[in-house]
Amino acid sequence: MMQSLPIHYVPWHRPPTSGQRGGPTPRIISYRHWMFINGGAGRPNPEVSRRADPEARIMEISSAAAEVDTSAPWSIPDHLNEMGSLWKKIVLPNEWDIQNASIGNLDREGEAGYVIETYEWAKATYDGSNWKHHMGLVWAILFSTILPKVFFPDEWRGKIAALGSNAQTVTNTIRNLPWIKTSKSQKGVTSKPPYITMLSTTIMAMMDNRSPLREYAGSHRNALGKFWTDKHGAKEINAVTLARIGLTTVETGGCIRTAKYKGNWDMKGDKDLKRLYDCVMQHLENEEYGIYFAVQEIFGEAMAKEVAEKGHTKQPVIGPNSSTNRA
């Protein structure tokens, strides 16, 4: 039965003294000694058993359990260079919480019910072995490293609106907009947990036509609804940002002023999205510079350098002829 529960270590007694014969066998249970019981998930670092400090041992036990079991509870480290195999987790991190979306004031029985249902759907159905679900979480985690620079210069609005209906030109222009922080109040765009929750849910929901959000849009002429757009737009989680992080195609420059789902913007096809996901995940397998190249792929080189300066990754030495083109 213990094997079926998310329990990996239990307090135990000290091991018998090496070479000792005779005398009582140790049987007193103590928090200073632990037994690993989930043998099917792999063995922890042997250093765990040699720690003298009980608190340090407990912390390492928790880390070891999270490392060896992709379904064990986990938290996103302060610096992403400590993620390691946590990128392979198939459950949502502790930072993902519906309360972080601040939707408690919405009326479940009213017109805003689909917003609440979308978050409940995301929590109930998330499966990190599904690349679409995992993509949403990975993008949200990486997005949290660039906060509060989630905006772009206002002067670009007119320039993009004037581009007309050349989808490739419009999409590429939006994709390469600089990431800046606004001169206005930074309230709402500095805390990471809301973005971990809200951006991952948005991406996951937009990529699945069975999500409550997509079902709502399907029955409302492809509109995402005022309650969704107002709540997420306040954090700049909108059609333009989805294009900036490589997930959508923008058909006309008018999207910069009035975004219309399946009118002037749409999600890219699964083939293109999977290619981008595979590219980013391949970068993240490189423990030394992977985060740098993953951020560069999604947000551009300038933000990759800033993320390195924040201590999330090392910055590689890149030759003058290196390509920085993004998908």
Instruction: Please state the rounded mean pLDDT for residues 26-39.
Output: 62
Q: Report pTM.
A: 0.79
**Residue 91 pLDDT exceeds 70:** yes
Burial class from Cβ neighbours inside 10 Å (0-12, 13-18, 19+) for residue 99 reads exposed
Instruction: Please state the rounded mean pLDDT for residues 103-119.
Output: 95
The rounded mean pLDDT for the chain is: 87
User: Residues 211-239: pLDDT tens digits?
Assistant: 999 999 999 999 999 999 999 999 999 99
The confidence score (pLDDT) of residue 200 equals 98
User: Residues 73-88: pLDDT tens digits?
Assistant: 999 999 999 999 999 9
How many other β-carbons are positioned within 10 Å of the β-carbon of residue 48? Answer: 20
Q: Which residues pair with 9 in a beta bridge?
A: 36
Instruction: Please state the rounded mean pLDDT for residues 34-50.
Output: 52
Instruction: Please state the rounded mean pLDDT for residues 93-119.
Output: 96
Residue that has been written with the tokens 């007309």 in this structure: 164
User: Residues 296-309: pLDDT tens digits?
Assistant: 999 999 999 999 99
